[in-house]
């Protein structure tokens, strides 16, 4: 019976432990996609910020990420302070392991004045649905759909994304 040298065994244990976080991350993403981003309009390098929204956040199971959401056409008035919109959101993981692209459709509506009495700017809510349309790296072969709810007031917006994600094997 052959015995592994202590140094060799340590190398094997180290290699296995380094591979576990990646495996756990990949498994965590199957089935559910959850992410939150905080967009500060004045910090977005793309201008005007009414057409492109960008910010930092986190994708559960994957880590820190940067997101841009660009309007794909004009806002279409629906009446009652609401507009229909289409957008393309790109999420890029900050560790460089992948990106995800989503096509979104939904409505932008002025929020209740009572709910935002002390808020600066024009508060509004954007309720969108998304369909994953592409991915790279850890998101290669991804598909899925869900919701993207944005709440905005003053110079900031919080986007909460939740839904499903699946991978083609």
In angstroms, what CA-CA distances link 129 with 35, 47, 67, 88, 136? 14, 24, 16, 11, 21
Q: Report the percentage of the chain scoring pLDDT > 90.
A: 50
Compute the mean pLDDT over every residue in the chain, rounded to the nearest whole number: 78
CA gap 11, 157 in Å, rounded: 46
Which two structure tokens, joined as six digits, stand for 16? 């296995």
Residues 44-55, mean pLDDT to the nearest whole number: 72
What sign results for the dihedral spanned by CA atoms 69, 70, 75, 76?
Answer: negative
Dump pLDDT digits (tens) for 97-126: 999 999 999 999 987 654 445 555 678 899
Specify the 3-state DSSP secondary structure of 93. Answer: strand
Per-residue pLDDT, 156: 85
Residue 29: the pLDDT is 44
Q: Which pLDDT score, from 0 to 100, does residue 42 have?
A: 73
Mean pLDDT of 131-160: 93
Q: Which residues of 30-55 are buried (b: 16+ CB within 10 A; e: fewer)?
A: eeebbbbbebebeebeeeebeebbbb
Domain borders along the chain are 1-30, 31-167
Q: Rounded mean pLDDT of 140-161?
A: 92
Q: How confident is the model at residue 57 (pLDDT cuts 50, 70, 90)?
A: very high
| CATH number among 3.30.200, 1.10.3470, 2.60.40, 2.40.350, domain 31-167 | 2.40.350
The predicted model scores a pTM of 0.76
């Amino acid at each position: 019976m052959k015995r592994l040298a202590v140094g060799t065994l340590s190398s094997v244990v180290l290699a296995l432990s380094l591979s576990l976080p990646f495996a756990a991350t990949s498994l965590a993403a199957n089935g559910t996609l959850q992410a939150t981003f905080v967009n500060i309009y004045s910090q977005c390098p793309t201008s005007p910020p009414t057409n492109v929204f960008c910010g930092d956040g986190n994708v559960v199971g994957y880590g820190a990420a940067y997101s841009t959401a660009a309007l794909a056409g004009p806002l279409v008035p629906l009446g009652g302070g609401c507009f229909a919109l289409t957008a393309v959101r790109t999420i890029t993981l900050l560790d460089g392991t992948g990106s995800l692209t989503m096509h979104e459709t939904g409505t932008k509506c002025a929020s209740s004045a009572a709910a935002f009495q002390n808020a600066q700017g024009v508060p509004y809510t954007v309720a969108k649905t998304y369909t994953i349309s592409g991915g790279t790296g850890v998101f290669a072969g991804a598909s899925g759909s869900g919701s993207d709810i944005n709440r905005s007031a003053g110079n900031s917006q919080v986007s909460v994304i939740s839904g499903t994600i699946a991978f083609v094997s």
